[in-house]
Amino acid sequence: MLTRIDHIGIVCFDLDKTVEFYSATYGFEVTHLESNEEEGIREAMLKINETPDGYASYLQLLGSTRDDSVVGKWLAKNGEGVHHIAFGTNDVSGETVAIRSKGVRALYDEPRQGSMGSRINFLHPKDCHGVLTELVTAATPDSE
């Protein structure tokens, strides 16, 4: 069962300036920063609010560290903006199986490691009306 909007992923040309915008404009605070050199991505997670299931909803701001990264290619083709929406679930594996049974393709055979120790899988945007959709099982409820 999907329990919340876990986050909305937004790609940006300048991560630091985009973090400053969302912090100054909306008062969102950065709760997590992460770099993935292998993927060529820097990210900032900004908490929006707590959710009834003990977790939180976030904005995930994604910047590229190189042009050939997934984010770098996205920026070159589409520019800045919304990249994906992520729904929280207590069982990303089970939810992936259930959604696959309805004819929706998952991008990975098995969930992978995501931000902040989460387990993730993505659903194909062509099967989700043009929206890249992520399923997320958070490592633990947000306690910050």
CATH of domain 2-137: 3.10.180.10
pLDDT greater than 80 at residue 117: yes
Catalytic (active-site) positions: 7, 43, 60, 84, 134
pLDDT greater than 70 at residue 142: no
Domains of the chain, by residue range, sit at 2-137
pLDDT greater than 80 at residue 144: no
pLDDT greater than 90 at residue 54: no
Measured CA to CA, the distance from residue 45 to residue 111 in angstroms comes to 20
Angle at alpha carbon of residue 85, lines to 3 and 98, rounded to 5°: 50
């903006």: which residue's tokens? 81
Task: Name which residue leads in pLDDT, 54 or 27.
Answer: 27
pLDDT of 141 reads 60
How does DSSP classify residue 111? -
